[in-house]
């Protein structure tokens, strides 16, 4: 353990911990960032999980939110080794009829593929895309009076609708399925309120900044953040899991990049009874079963568009995806799970030896499930890419228990830091004036269990650090509005 006093300590080096540590250090504080594992990064690590020479993203793979992050965009990350590669098509969605819907940078080319739903798609997305740069800082933030209330109201009108409602404006199975695949990232039944929000956000991100893949692996986002942090004087200590506050050096503020369950274990004795009760009621959601493959060739998708897409959503129709998510939510294993697949090596040759490839995929499973979903996931891929199994050289899997073992923030395999439904969208982890504060002075929570929630954007960490700067150090930072570069 580093000796001496610090102004602030951040526990956990996921994108939110890194963002918090950076903002505090940038404001003249002395900051120590502590990570339990030997390597920094949290959900941003990459490793040779299968065979030598094949680099796999252990958790996050595709980064629309990192590319759009109002805070990350203020940092000189490219000078610290971060370079993105951009797929030709951000996401493709194949159907049993052989067609595939796509989402790519050009909104018109995206809409063209939807045939009779072209105008419906443009009517839904165009206004949002035009206002996206102004809207994003308001969306990736805790509940507040927005800087752009009219634009925000326009977004909210559609965002709060369930997918099953908003897709009624489309006539084709392709447009409905495409929207459902985007929305299924919420890990909620598609009939839930506000499930359309994430679909709209992901589509608008594609049409503005794209869905980039970090060259060399997702770890390079974490490395660039850490390199910038140390370049401005920040200190990092790895290999130290914090189980008690007694392990920490003295500091005026401590920010935890952990979820409520862990926060209770570490600092519960410092909290009021009501705050402890609130944290204990926090709900975790579905888990994931994840597979990484080393492949002898690219995945032989029948639909051409899927071969040049960074992400492929495999789930066929709205009906099929809705059934799969509903069953999982009810604690059952879906026979035909919705599969999220990424093929990084097509766009980043450093990921695999020449001529070989990697693929990354997961499906949703009930929280805590130890079921092996390899067969079900590979069956789904084979359905749209016959011959896929023959390309497999090696594979590596994580069930939900292994996922939590790998990263204690993935409680029961929940990769979003808690259920992302309307009840926890703005009030995660508990209903408070500032969700980042705890009932104990100087202790904060900054993980994806706070607004705006899961994904690699660092904005939970940014807002938590901003709050600590105000409360503890008397610094009031300006609104982050003009930094969407």
Ligand X SMILES: Cc1cc2nc3c(=O)[nH]c(=O)nc-3n(C[C@H](O)[C@H](O)[C@H](O)COP(=O)(O)OP(=O)(O)OC[C@H]3O[C@@H](n4cnc5c(N)ncnc54)[C@H](O)[C@@H]3O)c2cc1C
Give me the residues that bind ligand X (CB under 6 A), please: 11-17, 34-37, 42-43, 59-63, 65, 241-242, 257-258, 262, 288, 290, 362, 407-410, 415, 417, 447-448, 454-456, 460
- Which residues, other chains included, contact 16 with Cβ-Cβ below 8 Å and sequence gap of 6+? 42, 257, 446, 447, 448, 458, 459, 460, 461, 464
Report d(CA 260, CA 283) in Å as an integer: 9
Report d(CA 322, CA 478) in Å as an integer: 42
Nearest approach, Cβ of 18 to ligand X (angstroms)? 7
Judged by CB, which is closer to ligand X: 36, or 300? 36
Nearest approach, Cβ of 447 to ligand X (angstroms)? 4
Judged by CB, which is closer to ligand X: 30, or 397? 397
Burial 30-40 (b: 16+ CB within 10 A, else e): bbbbbbbbebb
Judged by CB, which is closer to ligand X: 24, or 288? 288
- Which residues, other chains included, contact 10 with Cβ-Cβ below 8 Å and sequence gap of 6+? 17, 20, 21, 24, 31, 32, 33, 34, 254, 255, 256, 257, 446, 461
Judged by CB, which is closer to ligand X: 12, or 337? 12
Judged by CB, which is closer to ligand X: 114, or 288? 288
Judged by CB, which is closer to ligand X: 305, or 464? 464
Judged by CB, which is closer to ligand X: 263, or 303? 263
Nearest approach, Cβ of 34 to ligand X (angstroms)? 6
Q: Which two tokens stand for residue 27?
A: 């404001």
Report d(CA 226, CA 19) in Å as an integer: 9
CB 259 within 8 A of CB 447: yes
Nearest approach, Cβ of 298 to ligand X (angstroms)? 20
Nearest approach, Cβ of 368 to ligand X (angstroms)? 15
Nearest approach, Cβ of 198 to ligand X (angstroms)? 11
Nearest residue to 417 (alpha-carbon basis) of 443, 446, 453: 453
Q: E-assigned strands of 185-250?
A: 213-214, 235-237
Report d(CA 309, CA 86) in Å as an integer: 10
Q: What is the CA radius of gyration of the chain?
A: 21
Nearest approach, Cβ of 39 to ligand X (angstroms)? 8
Nearest approach, Cβ of 440 to ligand X (angstroms)? 16
Longest dimension (CA), the chain: 66
Judged by CB, which is closer to ligand X: 17, or 146? 17
CB 11 within 8 A of CB 453: no
CB 413 within 8 A of CB 421: no
Judged by CB, which is closer to ligand X: 336, or 457? 457
**Residue at token pair 């993980």:** 447
Judged by CB, which is closer to ligand X: 164, or 345? 345
Q: Which residue pairs from 144-150 have beta carbons closer than 8 angstroms and sit at least 24 positions apart in sequence?
A: 147/479, 147/481
Report d(CA 462, CA 72) in Å as an integer: 9
**Which of helix, strand or coil describes residue 26?**
helix
- Which residues, other chains included, contact 99 with Cβ-Cβ below 8 Å and sequence gap of 6+? 174, 303
Judged by CB, which is closer to ligand X: 160, or 406? 406
Nearest residue to 415 (alpha-carbon basis) of 400, 393, 434: 400
Nearest approach, Cβ of 68 to ligand X (angstroms)? 10
Judged by CB, which is closer to ligand X: 158, or 416? 416
**Burial grade of 47 (CB within 10 A; 0-12, 13-18, 19 or more):** middle
Nearest approach, Cβ of 61 to ligand X (angstroms)? 4
Nearest approach, Cβ of 256 to ligand X (angstroms)? 8
Nearest approach, Cβ of 3 to ligand X (angstroms)? 18
């Amino acid at each position: 353990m580093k000796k001496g006093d610090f102004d602030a300590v951040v526990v956990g080096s996921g994108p939110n911990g890194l963002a918090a540590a950076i903002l505090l250090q940038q404001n003249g504080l002395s900051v120590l960032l502590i990570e339990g594992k030997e390597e920094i990064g949290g959900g941003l690590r990459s490793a040779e999980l299968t065979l030598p020479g094949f680099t796999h993203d252990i958790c996050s793979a595709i980064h629309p939110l990192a590319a759009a992050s109002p805070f990350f965009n203020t940092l000189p990350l490219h000078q610290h080794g971060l370079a993105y590669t951009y797929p030709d098509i951000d996401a493709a969605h194949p159907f049993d009829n052989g067609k595939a819907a796509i989402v790519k940078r050009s909104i018109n080319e995206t809409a063209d593929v939807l045939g009779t739903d072209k105008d419906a798609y443009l009517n839904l997305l165009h206004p949002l895309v035009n206002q996206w740069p102004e809207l994003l800082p308001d969306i990736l933030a805790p509940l507040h009076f927005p800087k752009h209330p009219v634009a925000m109201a326009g977004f909210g009108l559609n965002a709060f609708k369930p997918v099953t409602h908003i897709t009624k404006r489309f006539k084709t199975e392709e447009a409905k399925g495409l929207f459902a695949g985007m929305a299924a990232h919420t890990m909620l039944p598609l009939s839930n309120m506000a499930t359309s929000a994430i679909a709209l956000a992901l589509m608008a991100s594609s049409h503005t900044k794209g869905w980039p893949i970090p060259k060399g692996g997702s770890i390079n986002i974490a490395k660039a953040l850490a390199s910038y942090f140390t370049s401005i004087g920040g200190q990092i200590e790895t290999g130290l899991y914090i189980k008690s506050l007694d392990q920490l050096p003295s500091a005026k503020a401590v920010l935890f990049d952990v979820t409520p369950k862990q926060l209770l274990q570490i600092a519960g004795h410092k909290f009021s009874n009501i705050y402890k009760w609130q944290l204990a009621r926090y709900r975790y959601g579905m888990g994931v079963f994840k597979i990484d493959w080393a492949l002898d060739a690219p995945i032989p998708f029948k639909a051409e568009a899927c071969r040049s897409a960074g992400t492929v959503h495999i789930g066929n129709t709205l009906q099929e995806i809705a059934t799969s998510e509903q069953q999982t939510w009810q604690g059952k294993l879906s026979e035909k799970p919705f599969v999220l697949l990424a093929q990084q090596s097509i766009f980043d040759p450093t990921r695999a030896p020449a001529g070989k490839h990697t693929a990354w995929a997961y499906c949703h499973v009930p929280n805590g499930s130890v079921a092996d979903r390899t067969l079900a996931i590979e069956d789904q891929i084979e359905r749209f890419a016959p011959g896929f199994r023959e390309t497999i050289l090696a594979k590596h899997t994580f069930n939900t228990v292994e996922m939590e073992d790998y990263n204690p923030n993935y409680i029961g395999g929940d990769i979003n830091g808690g259920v992302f439904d309307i009840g926890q969208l703005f009030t995660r982890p508990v209903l408070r004036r500032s969700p980042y504060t705890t009932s104990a002075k100087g202790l904060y929570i900054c993980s994806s269990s706070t607004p705006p929630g899961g994904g690699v954007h660092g904005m939970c960490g940014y807002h938590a650090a901003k709050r600590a700067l105000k409360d503890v150090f008397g610094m009031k930072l300006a609104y982050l509005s003009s930094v969407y570069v």
